[in-house]
Chains A and B, each alone.
Chain A
Amino acid sequence: MTTLTGIPAPAAASRSARGPRLRGLTWLVRRQHWAAFWTVLAATVACVALIAFLRAGMMDHLHTIGWPHPTGENWERDVRPDADRLSSAGSALGFVPVLLGVFLGAPLLAGDLEHGTAKPITSQSVTRVRRLAMKPGMTALVVTVCAVAASAAFSWWYEPLKAIDMPPQGWISGVFFDNTGPVPVALTLFTILGGVAIGMLLRRVLAAMAVTFGFAVAVPLVGSYLRMDLGSVVTMTTHQGVGEAASPELPGRSLPVGPVLPHQRRQTHRLGHLQQRNDRAGPSRLPGQGTRRRLVGGLPSRLADERHAVARRRNPVCPHPRPRGVRPPPGTQTTGLTFVSNRETDDMSRATSIEVRAPQSGA
């Protein structure tokens, strides 16, 4: 039998004895999620260390080919393994927001709601707003620090290759767009807080994780559709006879999106190879035809070749401007040339929505 006659211990004394450690809700959140937080922080440190190691190796290699002004016939081929390694690392990093959203964001509040442990916390002397804001807030803080570090490290790794325009697609590619600058930070925070919100609504950990997975996969997909709208996409369509001479000049500071012709120096792109083979084989046996037809949108399938280019002024990725304007190469039979450009670009605005029709003798 017990009678409780104890006087409450003086709060100030017990506080000072504990020293400057985390207090209140901060302590609770750290105690509850320290494993997850430390995992994320440790993984970030490991990732940055790995990037530093790989970048050091890459720089050694780049200096042997005369970086930043590479010389030699085949320097692009020499650089390709470095660029490929960067690309695959970027692809792997693309899964990180999904992982964090599913395993950190979704269970954050759903766990407490499902197991009833939200109740004892509700019963303590903390306000509802602080209670609800502290967990996602601290998680967001940890994740922001990690995402900024990872983004900076990846950008740092990419920088030397970007200076020599490798890999050729540059920022258009999701691998680089989603992993450099503020985009990875924003993307990660969005998937995590999305996961937290989904968890709050569903109140079940497993269901919240499943829905968050779909959400986190959908967000960058939607982003990849919108990414091209940051520049102006110019589609050039030529008919047959796509040889070396048939390649139109690209507008200045533009980046090719689709097939690339051999003389344009960037023959490394996979689609480019495919395109060349198909040109030799003829349009009817084109494996990628369906896709390409969709890309041109409504143009007949007899069109054997398209080129997609993104033209954008002051593009940092492609610092050397090429002659502007698009002209059909002489001697080719051109049925249509559609071209949409940035209206703000004065010398290109005159060329907006041009359609040139040549006699259809070859069709």
Chain B
Amino acid sequence: MSAGWALRDCSFRLPAGRICGLVGPNGAGKTTLMGIAANLLEPTAGSLRVFGAAPESAEANRRTAFLAQKKPLFRLFTVAETLRLGRELNPGWDQRAAEEIVRCGDVPLHAKVGTLSGGQRTRVAFALAFGKRPDLLILDEPMSDLDPLVRHELMNTLFAGAVEHGTTVLLSSHLLDELAGVCDYLLVVASGGLRLAGEVDALLGAHTWVTGVRTGEGTPEDLAPHGVVESRTSGQQISALVRPYGAITGSWQFGAPNLEDLPLAYLRSPDAPPLITPSAQVAGHTGPKETAA
């Protein structure tokens, strides 16, 4: 493949009913992965299953909704017509939910989509995806052009809907703090490969910040038997993000990493071994890429 791999060595499963954040640097393959799940792209190699079905199957198509990064909508349609589009093309359409999302932003129903602001258009696109009442909702950079207030409101809508209907949500974002309050599952992809996958609590619990006095060059002896993801020195102080494989000996101070530190540390250290929790591991590990939502 001349353009290089967008995504490779990436096998995981996403359990149903989770709100999963997909994190990675630009060009890591987030959009590619989402496009494959939404049946916009076909993988060069490997396979992806949505609820056990191929993404191109009618079953998967009916149960999946996708909100693309650029939120493309028909510019000449009015907001009401855009919602009618969803109603006409989806058997399980939830008009009330879609209209409520639009109304909360004071978006006039009879305005042409082309005349709306970026944030309002995002809201309409969001309503179109949400009104489908999907079992898997894929959101590619959904919040990038929303102000914090609206972002918070839509996230709450998403969260409430997901909890109520058991919707699985896969959303990609650059804004790690935004994911922190919402996601209970995390996927980190970098340079085409999977770096972290699993429940947020399990991932955070498996790591610890270690701070202490630097005694020599390189990795301190006390930390050597453990997995050091990243270490930083400033003066005589060394602080490291460690995946402990047992009790850490020595005089160290411990701290809990947050959801912002962890992906960044893994993205900065391409040599650190990936961590994939048991719930995210694919049984048998057959294909190079696999999802079971």
Contact = CB atoms under 8 A, between A and B. Distances in A.
Chain B binds chain A: yes
A119 B72 contact: yes
A125 B133 contact: no
A11 B91 contact: yes
A5 B153 CA distance: 15
A28 B133 contact: no
A317 B83 CA distance: 58
B72 A2 contact: no
A296 B87 CA distance: 67
A295 B95 CA distance: 70
B68 A5 contact: no
B38 A123 contact: yes
B125 interface: yes
A116 to B, nearest CB: 3
A7 B133 CA distance: 11
Contact of A123 (B56, B88, B129, B160): B129
A224 B62 CA distance: 49
Contact of B62 (A5, A116, A117, A125): A125
B83 to A, nearest CB: 12
A122 B40 contact: yes
Given A3-B160, A8-B133, A28-B88, A116 B100 contact: no
Interface stretch (A19-27, A232-240, A286-294): A19-27
A2 B153 contact: yes
Tell me whether chain B's interface is mostly helix, strand or loop, or mixed.
Answer: helix
B89 A4 contact: no
A4 B125 contact: no
A356 interface: no
A119 B66 contact: yes
Interface string B83-96: 01111111111111
Interface in A105-133: 115-117, 119-128
A32 interface: yes
Nearest to B89: A124
Interface in B89-107: 89-97, 100-101, 104
B27 interface: no
Given A2-B104, A6-B100, A8-B94, A117 B156 contact: no
B73 interface: yes
A9 interface: yes
Contacts of A116: 68, 70, 72
Interface in B55-93: 56, 58, 61-62, 64-68, 70, 72-75, 77, 81, 84-93
Most chain A beta carbons < 10 A, residue from B64, B77, B84, B97: B97
Interface residues of B, number: 49
Contact of A1 (B67, B129, B153): B153
B72 A117 contact: yes
Most chain A beta carbons < 10 A, residue from B87, B100, B132: B87
A31 interface: yes
Interface in B245-281: none
A11 B130 CA distance: 17
Interface string A9-37: 10100100000000111011001100000
Contacts of B62: 125
Contacts of B84: 27
Nearest to A24: B88
Nearest to A11: B91
Contacts of B164: 3-5
B157 interface: yes
B89 A6 contact: no
A124 B66 CA distance: 9
B89 A28 contact: yes
Most chain B beta carbons < 10 A, residue from A2, A5, A123, A128: A123
A8 B39 contact: no
Nearest to B64: A123
B200 interface: no
B92 A120 contact: no
Contact of A27 (B39, B40, B88): B88
A126 to B, nearest CB: 5
B161 interface: yes
Contact of B95 (A5, A14, A24, A119): A14
Contact of A6 (B58, B67, B72, B96): B96
A27 B86 CA distance: 11
Nearest to B62: A125
B156 A124 contact: no
B128 A120 contact: yes
A113 to B, nearest CB: 11
A273 B92 CA distance: 74
A4 B86 contact: no
A9 to B, nearest CB: 5
A127 B61 contact: yes
B101 A2 contact: yes
Contacts of A5: 164
Given A9-B95, A116-B70, A117-B73, 16 more contacts: A1-B153, A2-B104, A2-B160, A4-B161, A8-B96, A11-B93, A115-B72, A115-B75, A116-B68, A119-B66, A119-B72, A120-B74, A122-B39, A122-B66, A125-B62, A125-B90
User: Which 9 A-B pairs rank lowest in CB-CB distance, beginning with the nearest?
Assistant: A6-B96, A116-B72, A124-B89, A3-B160, A123-B66, A125-B62, A4-B97, A8-B94, A125-B90
11 contacts: A1-B153, A2-B104, A5-B164, A8-B97, A116-B68, A121-B89, A123-B64, A125-B61, A126-B61, A127-B58, A128-B39
